Amino acid sequence: MSPVGRWFVGLAALALASAWAPSLAQQPAEPEVEERDEAWTTYDQAMDRGQKTAAADALLAILDDPEAAELHGQAWVELGELLDSFDMGYSALIAYSRAIAADPDAAAGSVGHAMDLAEALGDEPLLAPVLAANVGIEVDGATRSRMAYLAARHYFQQSEYGTATGILHMVKKGSRESADAKALRGVILAQQGRHEDALAPLLRALELGRDQGRDARFINVTHLNIARAFFGADNYARAIEYYAKVERGSEFWPQATFERAWCHFMVGDATGTIALMMNHDSPFFRDWYFPEGDLLRAHALFLMCKFPDAGEQIDAFIARYSPIREQLQAQVATMTPAEAWDDLRAHEAGRPTRLPPTLLRRYQTEDRIQGAMRTVDKADDELSRLANVSANPFAARAITWLGERRTQIVQTEGGRVLANAHLARSELAGMLSDVQVTKLDIMQYETRMYENASFTGELHFGDRLGRLRSMGTLRGHQAWPFEGEYWADELGYYRIDARPDCPADLIAGE
C-alpha cells in the first residue's frame, strides 16, 4: 500500500471516531498513530528515492519490532511485492504466506497472486495451511474457489474429512476448480467407506472435466477413482468397465490393470486374472514394484489346480523379492529422511541407490514427489541468486527463510519415502513367509492328485492346445501358443482360454 493509501485509511478512521465522539476531534493524535507513521518513514523515503533494497531492509526493521505487531501484515505484503520485483518469487511466496497468517484483511488483495506463485513453484502445500485457517478472507469469486479447493485438499490430507467437505461447498459452480472439487468430494466419500455415495460426484467430475477440456491425465485418474468406487461397492463388473477405460499410454495403466485383475479374481474368473497379470510379468514392468500382483497370479493358478505353474510362480517370487527384502533390512534401520530424499534424487538421475530401485520407481509417477523435487530445484536456484547479494540484510534473511522451507520439504517427503520403505520391508517379510505355507499346500494337493490318478489311471490335466487351435477357425481371430516372447504392442491384449485341472473331488481351497 502506498503512503497516500495508508494516510487515507488513517483519515477515515479519525473521521469515524469524530462522528461517534466529537470531543476527541480536538485532542492530539494518539501516540501509537505517531509511532505507526514514524515506523514507515524510512521505508517511504527509500521508495521515493527508488532504493528498493533499503526499503526492504526498512520493512525488516518493522517486522523485527514486537510492538509494531499491528503493522506486520502490511509489512509482509509490501516485502513480498519487493521480493517479487527482485525476481525472488519463492521468497515472495513465503512473505505473502506470512502476511495472510499475520493479517488476512491486509493481505486479501495478494491472495490470488500468492496462489499463482505457489502453483508456478509447485509449493501449494506452503500456502494451503494459512488459506485453510483463513477461508473467510474477502476476495472475488474466482479467487475464493481456488482458495477453497486448496484449503479443502489440505484438510483432506490431514484426514479432516468433514471440514474438507464443508469447504468444498465454497467452490463456485462453473469455476475451473469445479471438476477437481467434485473429484475430491468423491475421493473423500470413498475414504469414509461410502463407495456408492462417492460415485455421483466422481461421475460428475468426469463430465465436468470433459466439458472443460481437461487433459488425459485428469480423465484417466478420474476413471481410476470411479473404478475403485465401484470395486468398493462390490460392483466388480462396472469396476472392470472403468479400469479398462484407463488408457494404455497412461502412467496409471499398470496400476489400473493390476486392480482390474483383482476384480476378475473376485468374480471367480481365474483365467482373466492370469491373463491381465501376464502384462506385469513381462520385461517391460520388471523394474516395477508389484509383489501383490505376482502373488495374485500364483493364487489364481493354485485355485485352478495348475500346481506346477503355481509352484514356478512362487519360486520366481521368492527369487525376485528376497533380495529386495534383504536390501531393505540392511538399509532402512539407519537411514534418515534426508538420506532417503538423496536416494530418491539419485534414482531420478540414474545413479546407484541404497534403497531398492524397484521401490523408488513408483515415485516417478507420483504428483506429490515430482512436485516436491521441482520445488526444491527452484529453491536451490533462488538460494544461489540470493547468495550473490547476501550482504543486504533482506537477502540474508530470505536465505534463512528459504533454507528452512527447503529443509522442511526434504524432511517431510524424505520421511514419507522412508516410512514406505519400512512398510514394504514388513509386508515383504509377511509375504515371503506366507508363500512358504502355500508351497506346502501345493505339494499336498499335488500329492492328492497323483494319488487319485493311481486309482483312476488318469491325470486331470486339460487339453492345453485344443481350445486354442479351435479359436483359429473363428473369423477375425488368430491364435498361437505363448512361448515367452513379449511384444510391447501385445500388452493389454493377452487372453487365456483354459479350464481348471481339478477333478470333481479335488477343488483347491476346500
- The stretch 294-302 carries a mean pLDDT of 91
pLDDT of residue 495: 80
- To the nearest whole percent, how much of the chain has pLDDT over 70? 84
pLDDT digits 0-9 by tens, 368-379 = 899 999 999 999
Tell which residue, 425, 462, 435, 430, has the closest CA to residue 297: 435
pLDDT of residue 103: 96
pLDDT digits 0-9 by tens, 431-464 = 999 988 888 877 777 677 666 666 665 555 544 4
Separation CA 306–CA 189 (nearest Å): 40
State the DSSP string of 463-494. -TTHHHHHHTTSTT-------S---GGGTT--
Grid cell, residue 182, equals 467434485
Residue 283 CB contacts under 8 Å (≥ 6 apart), including other chains: 486
pLDDT of residue 482: 66
C-alpha to C-alpha distances, 144 to 85, 117, 188, nearest whole angstrom = 25, 16, 21
pLDDT of residue 385: 95
Task: Work out whether the CA dihedral 263, 269, 274, 276 comes out positive or negative.
Answer: negative
Residue 510 CB contacts under 8 Å (≥ 6 apart), including other chains: none
Asked if 425 contacts 332 with a C-beta cutoff of 8 angstroms, the reply is yes
Asked if 449 contacts 307 with a C-beta cutoff of 8 angstroms, the reply is yes
Separation CA 87–CA 100 (nearest Å): 21
Residue 372 CB contacts under 8 Å (≥ 6 apart), including other chains: 122, 409, 412, 413
Residue 319, classed as helix, strand or coil, is helix
Q: Is the pLDDT of residue 17 over 50?
A: no
462-484 burial, b at 16+ Cβ within 10 Å, e below that, comes to eeeeeebeeeeeeeeeebeeeee
Query: Confidence class of residue 499 from pLDDT cuts 50, 70 and 90?
Result: confident
Q: Is the pLDDT of residue 341 over 60?
A: yes
pLDDT digits 0-9 by tens, 154-177 = 999 999 999 999 999 999 999 999
Q: Is the pLDDT of residue 396 over 50?
A: yes
pLDDT of residue 441: 76
pLDDT digits 0-9 by tens, 87-137 = 999 999 999 999 999 999 999 999 999 999 999 999 999 999 999 999 989
Separation CA 3–CA 39 (nearest Å): 12
- What ranges do the domains of the chain cover? 248-510
- The stretch 308-312 carries a mean pLDDT of 88
One-letter amino acid of 272: G
Residue with cell 461517534: 20
* Weakest mean pLDDT among 24-28, 191-195, 219-223, 245-249: 24-28
Separation CA 267–CA 270 (nearest Å): 9
Asked if 143 contacts 176 with a C-beta cutoff of 8 angstroms, the reply is no
Asked if 509 contacts 441 with a C-beta cutoff of 8 angstroms, the reply is no
Q: Is the pLDDT of residue 5 over 50?
A: no
Query: Confidence class of residue 367 from pLDDT cuts 50, 70 and 90?
Result: confident
